[in-house]
Amino acid sequence: MTRAQKGAKKALAEILRDWKDPHGAGSIMDERWLCGLDVNEQAMVALQIRPSRPHCPCCLVDLVDLKAKLESHKRIVSAAIEVVDVPATKVYEELLSKFPTVSGASSYIDLDHDVAAFD
């Protein structure tokens, strides 16, 4: 295990430990929501997440914010979030990749326009 990988794993654990489901369903670390994670030797993070309410736009906003938080950490080179076990998986992934991952990224989402695909 590389030094970068160890640092990224520690940073990931710190961030995920405090990240809560937006609907009060508990920690995102719960196995109902976090289906998989990987940190490679270059400190790139990959998560597989099942939103607690797949048709709710705030779950998408929360994942955009999570991705931004992960990528803003100095020990994490990049973050990829794959949404699994929901009917609109492709919509989630398209929207997650569309928006810039900067602090406050959720403000870039036009819920009336961009999330219309959930309907």
Closest CA to 95 of 113, 79, 75, 77: 113
Ordered by start, the domain boundaries in the chain are: 3-118
pLDDT at 18 over 50: yes
Q: Distance (Å, rounded) from C-alpha 78 to C-alpha 12? A: 11
Q: Which residue has 């919509």 as its token pair?
A: 91
Tell whether the torsion through CA atoms of 72, 74, 77 and 80 is positive or negative.
Answer: negative
Enter the pTM of the model.
0.79
Determine the pLDDT at residue 104: 42
Q: Which residue has the higher pLDDT, 117 or 76?
A: 76
pLDDT bin (cut points 50, 70, 90) of residue 59 is confident
Q: How confident is the model at residue 114 (pLDDT cuts 50, 70, 90)?
A: very low
Q: Please state the CATH superfamily assignment of the domain spanning residues 3-118 in this structure.
A: Fe-S cluster assembly (FSCA) (3.30.300.130)
State the pLDDT at residue 102. 46
Contact in structure between 54 and 117 (CB atoms under 8 Å): no
Spatial separation of the C-alpha atoms in residues 5 and 114, rounded to whole Å: 34
Q: How confident is the model at residue 73 (pLDDT cuts 50, 70, 90)?
A: very high
